[in-house]
Structure 1
Amino acid sequence: METLTKKETIALRDKFIGKSCQLFFRKDPLKIVSAKGQYMFDERGDAYLDCINNVAHVGHCHPAVVKAGCEQMSTLNTNNRFLHDNIVLCAQRLVSTLPEELEVCFFVNSGSEANDLALRLAQIHTGNRHVIALEHAYHGHLTSLIDISHYKFNLPGGPAQREYVHVASCPDSYRGKFNDAKDEKSKIGELYANEIKDICDNVKTKFGEGMCAYIAESMLSCGGQVIPPPNYFENVYRHVRAAGGVCIADEVQVGFGRIGKHWWAFQQYDVVPDIVTMGKPMGNGHPVAAVITTRAVANSFLNTGVEYFNTYGGNPVSCAIANAVFDTIEKENLREHALVVGEYLLDSCQMLKKKHVCIGDVRGVGLFVGIEIVKDRNTREADYETATYIVSRMKEEHILLSVDGPDCNVIKLKPPMVFSKENVEDVVTTLDRILKEVRHNKEESFHQNRATRPIGASTEVIKETPNRKPGLDARIKSI
Structure 2
Amino acid sequence: MEISHEPQRLHAQRRALTSAALSVSYATSAPLVIIRGTGCYLIDHAGQAYLDTRNNVPHLGHCHPAVVRAVQQQVATLNTNSRYLHPTYNDLCQRLLTTLPPALRDQYVVFLVNSGSEANDLALRLARAHTGAQHVAVLDHAYHGNTTATLELSPYKFLHPRYSALGQPSPPTHTHVLPVPSAARPGDPTRADPLRPLRHLCDQYDRQLAALFVESGMSVASVILPPPHYFQAAFAAVRAAGGLCVCDEVQTGLGRTGAWYAFEWADVTPDIITLGKPMGNGMPLAAVLCHRDIGATLARGPEYFNTFGGNTVSCAAGLAVLETLEADNLLAHATRVGAHLMSCLCKLQASLAQQHPELPCHIGDVRGRGLFVGVEFVTHIQHPTPATQAASHLCTQLRLQHHILTSLDGPHDNVMVIKPPMCFGIREANQLVRALRAELLAMPVDLTGVAPTPT
Name the structure 2 match of 1:371: 375
Report matched runs for 1:176-255 at 5 Å: 180-181=186-187, 191-204=193-206, 209-255=207-253
Report matched runs for 1:60-459 at 5 Å: 60-99=62-101, 100-101=103-104, 102-158=107-163, 159-160=168-169, 161-174=171-184, 180-181=186-187, 191-204=193-206, 209-260=207-258, 262-303=259-300, 305-357=301-353, 358-396=362-400, 397-438=402-443, 441-442=444-445
Q: Secondary structure at the match of 1:313?
A: coil
How far, CA to CA, are the matches of 1:11 and 1:2 in structure 2? Answer: 11
Name the structure 2 match of 1:472: none
Q: 1:16 to 1:3 in 2, by over 3 A?
A: closer
Q: CA deviation at 1:399?
A: 0.5
Q: Secondary structure at the match of 2:364?
A: strand
Tell me if structure 1 keeps the 8 A contact 2:364–2:376: yes
How far, CA to CA, are the matches of 1:201 and 1:405 in structure 2? Answer: 30
> More displaced, 193-202 or 389-398?
193-202
How far, CA to CA, are the matches of 2:318 and 2:188 in structure 1? Answer: 45
Q: CA deviation at 1:463?
A: 7.6
How far, CA to CA, are the matches of 1:173 and 1:378 in structure 2? Answer: 19
| Amino acid in structure 1 at the alignment position of 2:447 | I
Aligned residues: 431
Q: 1:380 to 1:234 in 2, by over 3 A?
A: farther
How far, CA to CA, are the matches of 1:75 and 1:5 in structure 2? Answer: 37
1:346-398 Cα shifts (integer Å, max 9, x gaps): 10110111023411110110000001111234444211111111111111120
How far, CA to CA, are the matches of 2:382 and 2:238 in structure 1? Answer: 35
| Amino acid in structure 1 at the alignment position of 2:17 | F
Q: Secondary structure at the match of 1:293?
A: strand
> More displaced, 403-412 or 156-165?
156-165
Q: Secondary structure at the match of 1:356?
A: helix
1:16 counterpart = 2:7: no
| Amino acid in structure 2 at the alignment position of 1:346 | M
Q: 1:94 to 1:182 in 2, by over 3 A?
A: closer
Segments of 5+ residues of structure 1 without an aligned counterpart are 443-460, 466-479
Tell me if structure 2 keeps the 8 A contact 1:394–1:430: yes
| Amino acid in structure 2 at the alignment position of 1:336 | A
Aligned CA RMSD, in angstroms, stands at 1.9
Name the structure 2 match of 1:52: 54
How far, CA to CA, are the matches of 2:14 and 2:256 in structure 1? Answer: 34
1:462 counterpart = 2:447: yes
Name the structure 2 match of 1:457: none
> More displaced, 141-150 or 378-387?
378-387
| Amino acid in structure 1 at the alignment position of 2:178 | A
The structure with the largest alpha-carbon Rg is: 1
How far, CA to CA, are the matches of 2:213 and 2:383 in structure 1? Answer: 31
Q: CA deviation at 1:182?
A: 8.5
| TM-score, scaled to structure 2 | 0.91
Among all aligned residue pairs of Structure 1 and Structure 2, give the percentage whose two residues are the same amino acid.
42
Q: 1:80 to 1:182 in 2, by over 3 A?
A: closer
Q: CA deviation at 1:157?
A: 1.4
Name the structure 1 match of 2:453: none
Q: 1:68 to 1:377 in 2, by over 3 A?
A: same
Q: CA deviation at 1:2?
A: 6.5
| Amino acid in structure 1 at the alignment position of 2:363 | I
Q: CA deviation at 1:195?
A: 2.2
Tell me if structure 2 keeps the 8 A contact 1:193–1:233: no
Q: Secondary structure at the match of 1:157?
A: helix
1:169-202 Cα shifts (integer Å, max 9, x gaps): 1112336xxxx4499x9xx69x322321112123
How far, CA to CA, are the matches of 1:326 and 1:382 in structure 2? Answer: 39
Q: CA deviation at 1:43?
A: 0.6
Segments of 5+ residues of structure 2 without an aligned counterpart are 354-361, 451-455
How far, CA to CA, are the matches of 2:47 and 2:188 in structure 1? Answer: 51
How far, CA to CA, are the matches of 1:46 and 1:235 in structure 2? Answer: 50
Name the structure 1 match of 2:36: 34
How far, CA to CA, are the matches of 1:203 and 1:335 in structure 2? Answer: 40
How far, CA to CA, are the matches of 1:26 and 1:17 in structure 2? Answer: 15
How far, CA to CA, are the matches of 1:91 and 1:36 in structure 2? Answer: 28
How far, CA to CA, are the matches of 1:356 and 1:405 in structure 2? Answer: 23
Q: 1:422 to 1:4 in 2, by over 3 A?
A: closer
1:256-297 Cα shifts (integer Å, max 9, x gaps): 10011x101111110000000001110001100000000111
Tell me if structure 2 keeps the 8 A contact 1:369–1:413: yes
| Amino acid in structure 2 at the alignment position of 1:31 | V
